[in-house]
Amino acid sequence: MEFKKFLLTEQHEYLSGKIGDVLTGVHELIQGGKQIGARQLVRHSEGIVNQIRKILHTSWPRTEYKYLRKLQKCGVALAKCIDEKGDLQDTLNSVRHEIEQLSHKLGEPINTLGTSKKRKPKENDGEKQAGHQNQGPPPNMPAPPPEPQTADESPNSPSPTKT
């Protein structure tokens, strides 16, 4: 069953990875856009457009077309801004926002280092935890020092009397 599921979702995950690559490029361009000149910003933006173009010219199943249309709109907007010498930083921010939404709709995590499975506590774990809560400190831990008492409160000290 796992292999059949893999075959059905392989293209979807592949598209998600490609869109994640474009999103990473846009993020880097936005962050580094203030340090580089306008000419380099345009050149790197053209690289992003070419990256989107490569994705669009790849063969995809019909189920992925709705995602590709949104990606195409982002690429066209970026290319049009470059050609008309518009506000490239603003356009890059808009493209970033759209691609982030697109990546979210795909539902595939870009960073797959984390585990998706959560550890379920066993029945014995709850009993052990409840037992530790009712007991004092663990046996290898020293007892806390007693609080200092004043001479008036000390039970061994003689009570003050009038003489």
Q: pLDDT 10s per residue in the chain (163 long)?
A: 576 666 656 666 778 888 888 999 999 998 887 788 888 989 999 999 999 999 989 888 888 888 899 999 999 999 999 999 888 889 999 999 999 998 888 775 555 444 455 545 555 545 445 555 555 555 555 555 666 665 555 555 555 555 5
Statement: the pTM of the whole predicted model exceeds 0.75: no
Domain extents in the chain: 2-106
pLDDT of residue 52: 93
Largest distance between two CA atoms of the chain: 107
Question: What span, in angstroms and rounded, lies between the C-alpha atoms of 129 and 125?
Answer: 6
Rg value, the chain, Cα = 32
